[in-house]
Structure 1
């Protein structure tokens, strides 16, 4: 057994490297989100058409996710993360070059970006769970706070670049080149996946585990809660309240700022009250936020609703990843399964909200999120830590 004195520096370096990977993942994603209204206008898409375009990211991720756990078991998180980051950079950079000129190339590039971002996502979550075990305390929400911080920076940069008239190609290429270089260098500090006596479960076996599937169902709804804001909040504010593109992107920035705050504070709440109580509470806050945005009407209520939505959406995905990785012997396979189910929200969410938006308006379509949170609450007990069952 390695002593804490010699292990601590490695764990701390790995913690910083994982945090950087999350930040850059969020930066890339928010950079794309800031260009979604431009993509819709440039290609003259309806909400339904935009939903189909956004669907390409989720399809790419779902193609890659089921095999990512096995890839990590064979090649390790370092190589898999680097491969994912390079694929994401290629896809998003090409998206920037094709934006407004070729819908087919843009869709194909977003598909490649989806593959890369999905692989990147699983690898950094598996490594994050390993670091969490090494530190002996809850830190996964803070890693996801790093993602949120990256999205805040990306949203603010995006709003600024849009306001200044910086072309999408210049913006996105600069972001992906910087991100790919930093991820490649930072991944060298990752911890090796812990060796255990029991052989890791195959991905097929993990798909048959009731607890893993229930965690996946919970993450599905909570990922849609977060993903709907990522894809549609800026557009809904523009369409529903007739604000400018820059103001819509700023509203998205407020959402991710609130989500970042929730993830930073959430580690203490989770350690104090447990996963179940905290998740139920945050889901109620998220539902209240959506209702305020759609029904509030007054700017102050809309702002409050955005904050509530961000706080309420903050912990679902990271807690789901931690819960899937509770057993280190099966962490990679289970995180891969839960991530695949969660990404189904990104597969179904954009077209669902787009088509509903075509019927009732983009703003009112957000109510779908509040409705889905009700049945999702029934799956929350599956996320309990093993120790929570006996206390």
Structure 2
């Protein structure tokens, strides 16, 4: 019924989907965790800082694993530990246990990100039309369903323990069923060696693009619920997250066509404008509908940054694709987990609304960085 490449595409889409569900499940329940442990904004910032610190441990590990072995092997192992660590976060038995769980969660997520993006570029070679953006769209669909399910759990006051247990069991079914259909024998044929040295200018530029994209995306994931609850005084605080994910998904499912029509360089500029405008609306007019509109604009703005940048990563020449993705994903991982604690510290000092200026600063960076990237490509081609 399905050709082998189609089966591989479906299987990998399932892993993108599961990653989206699990991450949005964690992020949408951060206000719950904050309440359980009676954390201040500064305390929450400290807790979230654990994640970028632990992700750095995986800088050489993730790229080496995916380049040394078939990428599906570390993907499967990391997916299991990812699900187990998510469940242990929901256990909530102690603050120490939460810290250990977050460390494992962060390292597992890093390995998953490198593996699924490596597989996506391998599968892309088997299709004439661009499909990388659609994989990221499937991740966002998973994120939508994850936050929808979280909304139901919150509305009916289901404990975080049972909530995360259900997600873990669902995830185990997916990875057991889909693992046999992933791409095999994709171990890198070029250099597998990761050396701790300064990356090329081109790789660094791409890395900084995903770093600032991750600050925007990670910060929105972790703080938009708190913003809705504490600034807008909205009891069902997942509405903003839900609309943010819906807008990201719509955009990511169409990003491949948009790239063909307008070109990546124009889309980077459009992303910058949407992010800045959306954050300004949400902070200047802190009531429900303006905030939801602002979050939607940020969702549209952030959505295309990852797929476009990972496509550009395939043009790098210094390392094999898994190593390049690992290096760039390092910037992404640090940004994803550094953004939220920065927001927390600024919120503790100046208030949450003023702390959201961080997103405006990050959004501005895409214009000069993308210009440098495309100037570099023109010189080398």
Q: Normalising by the residue count of structure 1, what TM-score does the alignment of the two structures yield?
A: 0.91
Segments of 5+ residues of structure 2 without an aligned counterpart are none
Q: Could you tell me how far apart the structure 2 residues matched to 1:172 and 1:196 are?
A: 36
Other-structure match for 1:270: 259
- Whether the 8 Å contact between 1:206 and 1:337 is mirrored in structure 2 is no
State the shift of 1:326 in Å: 3.3
Q: Could you tell me how far apart the structure 2 residues matched to 1:113 and 1:269 are?
A: 34
Distance 1:64 1:205, change over 3 A: closer
State the shift of 1:349 in Å: 1.2
What CA RMSD, in Å, does the superposition of the two structures yield over aligned residues? Answer: 2.3
- Whether the 8 Å contact between 1:62 and 1:118 is mirrored in structure 2 is no
The answer to whether the aligner puts 1:106 opposite 2:95 as a matched pair is no
Deviations 1:270-309 (A, max 9, x none): 1222221111111211111111111124433222111101
Other-structure match for 2:370: 380
The alignment partner of 1:203 has SS state of coil
Runs of 4+ in structure 1 off by over 6 angstroms are 385-391
State the shift of 1:180 in Å: 2.8
Other-structure match for 1:128: 120
Segments of 5+ residues of structure 1 without an aligned counterpart are 1-7
The answer to whether the aligner puts 1:70 opposite 2:64 as a matched pair is yes
Deviations 1:115-155 (A, max 9, x none): 11111111001101111122133222211111111111010
The answer to whether the aligner puts 1:363 opposite 2:353 as a matched pair is yes
Distance 1:164 1:190, change over 3 A: same
Deviations 1:64-90 (A, max 9, x none): 243212111222111010011011112
Other-structure match for 1:12: 6
- Whether the 8 Å contact between 1:323 and 1:384 is mirrored in structure 2 is no
State the shift of 1:173 in Å: 1.4
Deviates more, 1:366-375 or 1:250-259: 366-375
Other-structure match for 1:160: 152
Distance 1:385 1:253, change over 3 A: farther
State the shift of 1:53 in Å: 1.5
Distance 1:281 1:38, change over 3 A: same
Q: Could you tell me how far apart the structure 1 residues matched to 2:61 and 2:375 are?
A: 26
Q: Could you tell me how far apart the structure 2 residues matched to 1:234 and 1:134 are?
A: 40
Other-structure match for 1:137: 129
The alignment partner of 2:38 has SS state of coil
1:223 aligns with one of 214, 231, 247 = 214
Deviates more, 1:374-383 or 1:12-21: 374-383
- Whether the 8 Å contact between 2:67 and 2:188 is mirrored in structure 1 is no
2:142 aligns with one of 150, 166, 169 = 150
Q: Could you tell me how far apart the structure 1 residues matched to 2:132 and 2:198 are?
A: 23
Other-structure match for 2:344: 354
Distance 1:9 1:235, change over 3 A: same
- Whether the 8 Å contact between 2:203 and 2:316 is mirrored in structure 1 is no
State the shift of 1:346 in Å: 2.6
The answer to whether the aligner puts 1:252 opposite 2:230 as a matched pair is no
Q: Could you tell me how far apart the structure 2 residues matched to 1:127 and 1:388 are?
A: 28
- Whether the 8 Å contact between 2:247 and 2:300 is mirrored in structure 1 is yes
How many equivalent pairs are there? 379
Other-structure match for 1:3: none
Deviates more, 1:202-211 or 1:337-346: 202-211
The answer to whether the aligner puts 1:94 opposite 2:88 as a matched pair is yes
Other-structure match for 2:200: 209
Other-structure match for 2:46: 52
Other-structure match for 2:276: 287
- Whether the 8 Å contact between 1:27 and 1:154 is mirrored in structure 2 is yes
Other-structure match for 1:303: 292
Q: Could you tell me how far apart the structure 1 residues matched to 2:44 and 2:201 are?
A: 35
Q: Could you tell me how far apart the structure 1 residues matched to 2:69 and 2:322 are?
A: 12
Q: Could you tell me how far apart the structure 2 residues matched to 1:333 and 1:73 are?
A: 7
Q: Could you tell me how far apart the structure 2 residues matched to 1:109 and 1:55 are?
A: 13
Say which structure is richer in helix.
1
State the shift of 1:187 in Å: 2.7
Deviates more, 1:258-267 or 1:373-382: 373-382
Distance 1:390 1:112, change over 3 A: closer
Q: Could you tell me how far apart the structure 1 residues matched to 2:72 and 2:145 are?
A: 25
Q: Could you tell me how far apart the structure 2 residues matched to 1:265 and 1:175 are?
A: 28
